[in-house]
Amino acid sequence: MSSAAGASIQPKIPGKTLFGHPVGLFVLFFTEMWERFSYYGMRGLLKLYMVNYLFVATRQLMQGSTLTVAGEPSQVFGWHFVQSLLPGDVQGQASIIYGWYTGLVYFTPFFGGLIADRFWGQRKTVFVGGILMALGHFVMAFENWFFLALLLLIIGNGAFKPNISTQVGDLYPADDPRRDGAFTIFYMGINLGAFLCNLVCGTLAAIYGWHYGFAAAGIGMCLGLLIYSLGQKYLAPETFHERKAAAAKEKTPLTHEEWSRVKALIGLCLLNVVFWAVYEQQGNTMQTWADEQTVWPVVFGFQIPSTWFQSFNPFFIFAFAPVLDWFWGRQARKGKEPSSVGKMAIGCVILGLSFIVMVFGAQAVGTGKGSLLWPVLCTFLLTIGELYLSPIGLSLVTKVAPARIVSMMMGIWLMSSFFGNILSGYIGALYSVLSKQNFFWLLTALGIGAGLAIMAFSKPLKRIMSSHAN
C-alpha cells in the first residue's frame, strides 16, 4: 500500500475542540495520566520493596520504617530459580530484576502494536491491556505471586502503551502543525500521573504498609479505563477495518521510500538505547541514593518518605515542558530551531552532564548522608534532557512511520527503552562495586557519548526523513 493509500484511510477528525485541540486529546491525556499513576506508583516502590521487604529475612514493615517483621524469601514462587541466574548480592540482584521488568514493559508494546494493527484494533487492545495491568497491581498484594504480578503488568502495558500514543496522532491531519504541541501536552499528562502517584502510593506504603501503595496503583489503572470508556465518542474513529481491508486488497510490500523511513527510525532507536540505560538510573540507583544517603525533612511531624524523590522528575517535566515549547517556538520564528533529531542529540548530552552533579555530591557526602539538593539538581538537568528527546521521538514516529504499520513502529520505538532498561539494570549492579564517584562518571560518559553519536548520524537521518519530518 502506497503512502497515498495510507492517506485514504486517514480518520475523520472529531470537530469539537478545547484550548485549540480536539477534546479527544484530553480524554487520552487523563487516561494516560491514570495509567502512568499506576505504573510509576508501583515502580517507585519496586526496588525498595525487593531489598527491604520481599527478598530479605528481616522485613521492613512499612516503607522507611524501623518496624520489622520476620520474612521468608523462599516462599516467593520462582525466587530460588531467578536468584540462581543473577550475580551479586540482593541489592545487585534487585537492580537487575528492576532493569528486566522496566525493560520488558517496553518490549511487549511491539507485539501490542502488531496485535492492534492486524487483529483487534487499537481500542480493544487498550481495554485488554488496562484490565491486565489492574489485575497485576492487585496481585502484588500476594507476596508469593510477585513474579506473576510483574508478568501481568508487562503484558498489559504492552497492549496499552503503543495504542494510546498512536491515537493522539490520529486526532490530527498528517500535516497539522499542532502535532508536536499535542504530544507535549500528552507527555505532560504522563508526568502529572507520575508526579501524583508517589505522593499517594509512597505515602500509603510509609504509613500503612507496602501493599496499600500497590493497591492505590491498581485503583489508578481502573480510573484510567473508566475515563477511556466514557470518552470514546471524542476519539478519532477506529480505522482498523479500513486499514485491514486496504492491506488485503493491495497486498503490496512497503515501497523503497517507506523502507528507508523504517530503517532510519530503527537506526535512531538503536542510538537511544544508551540514553534510556542512563536515564532509568533515576528509579534504580538514584532511588537507592535517595533512600540511603539523603537527609529527608520532617514536616509537621511527618517524615517525608524517600519515594517522594520519584516525583521530582515529573514535576520538572510538568513545569518546564511549556517553557521549552515556547523556547522552540521562538527559535522556529528565528529559523534556528534544531531538527527533531538534533533535539534528541542535545537531550542525550544534557542527560550525561546531569550526573556531574552527583560526582560532586558523592565527593561531598562520602559514606554518610547529605543534602537533598544533590539528587534534585541532577534530576532537574536530567529532565531537561528527557524533554529534548522523549516527546519529540513519539511525535517523530507518528510523522515518519508508514501509516499501515504505525502502531508496530511505535512498538519498535518503545523497544529501544526495552534494551536500555535491561542495560540499566546491569549498569546499576555496578553501584555497589564501583566507588560512587566513578559510577556517576560512567553515567556521564555514556550520556554524552550517545549524544555525540546521534549528532554524527543526524545529517543522513535527516536526509532520509526530510520529506516527512523536520
Burial of 366 (0-12, 13-18, 19+ CB in 10 A): exposed
The pLDDT score that the predictor gives to residue 55 is: 94
Q: Determine the Cα–Cα distance for residues 353 and 347; give it in Å rounded to an integer.
A: 10
The pLDDT score that the predictor gives to residue 7 is: 37
Coil/strand/helix, residue 231: coil
For 88: left if phi > 0, alpha if psi spans -120 to 50, otherwise beta; the answer is left
Q: Is residue 181 within a helix (H) or strand (E), and if so which, with residue range?
A: helix 179-197
Coil/strand/helix, residue 299: strand
Of the candidates 369, 374, 370, 372, the one whose C-alpha atom is nearest the C-alpha of residue 358 is 374
Cell numbers representing residue 345 in the block: 542529540
Coil/strand/helix, residue 21: strand
Contact status, residue 106 vs residue 415, Cβ threshold 8 Å: yes
Q: Determine the Cα–Cα distance for residues 324 and 309; give it in Å rounded to an integer.
A: 23
Q: Determine the Cα–Cα distance for residues 227 and 38; give it in Å rounded to an integer.
A: 14
The pLDDT score that the predictor gives to residue 163 is: 87
Coil/strand/helix, residue 118: helix
pTM of this prediction?
0.80
CA 349 to chain centre: 19
Torsional sign, CA 370, 434, 416, 164: negative
Summarize pLDDT for 266-313 with one digit per residue, the tens.
Answer: 888 888 899 999 999 988 999 999 999 999 999 888 889 998 999 999
Summarize pLDDT for 157-177 with one digit per residue, the tens.
Answer: 999 988 887 888 888 877 777
Q: Determine the Cα–Cα distance for residues 171 and 398; give it in Å rounded to an integer.
A: 11
The contacts of residue 310 (CB under 8 Å, 6+ apart) are 40, 43, 44, 194, 198, 202, 282, 283, 287
Cell numbers representing residue 242 in the block: 479500513
Residue where the block lists cell 513545569: 319
The pLDDT score that the predictor gives to residue 426 is: 92
The pLDDT score that the predictor gives to residue 245 is: 61
The pLDDT score that the predictor gives to residue 414 is: 75
Residue 297, CA atoms < 13 Å, CB-side half-sphere? 5
Q: Which domains does the chain have, with CATH numbers?
A: 20-244+255-465 (1.20.1250.20)
Alpha-carbon distances, residue 446 vs 102, 187, 226, 243, 343 (angstroms): 19, 25, 41, 41, 18
Residue burial 75-108, b: 16+ Cβ < 10 Å; e: rest: ebeebeebeeebeeebbbbbbbbbbbbbbbbbbb
Residues of the chain with pLDDT under 50: 1-8
The contacts of residue 248 (CB under 8 Å, 6+ apart) are none
Q: Determine the Cα–Cα distance for residues 39 and 102; give it in Å rounded to an integer.
A: 10
Tally helices (H) and strands (E) across the chain: 18, 6
- Which long-range contacts (C-beta less than 8 Å, at least 24 apart) are formed by 343-346? 343/388, 343/389, 343/392, 344/268, 344/272, 344/388, 344/389, 344/392, 344/393, 344/454, 345/451, 345/452, 345/454, 345/455, 345/458, 346/385, 346/388, 346/451
The pLDDT score that the predictor gives to residue 1 is: 34
Alpha-carbon distances, residue 361 vs 92, 123, 293 (angstroms): 22, 47, 10
- Please, what is the angle between helix 256-279 and helix 436-465, to 10°? 160
Cell numbers representing residue 114 in the block: 502488531
Q: Determine the Cα–Cα distance for residues 157 and 43; give it in Å rounded to an integer.
A: 13
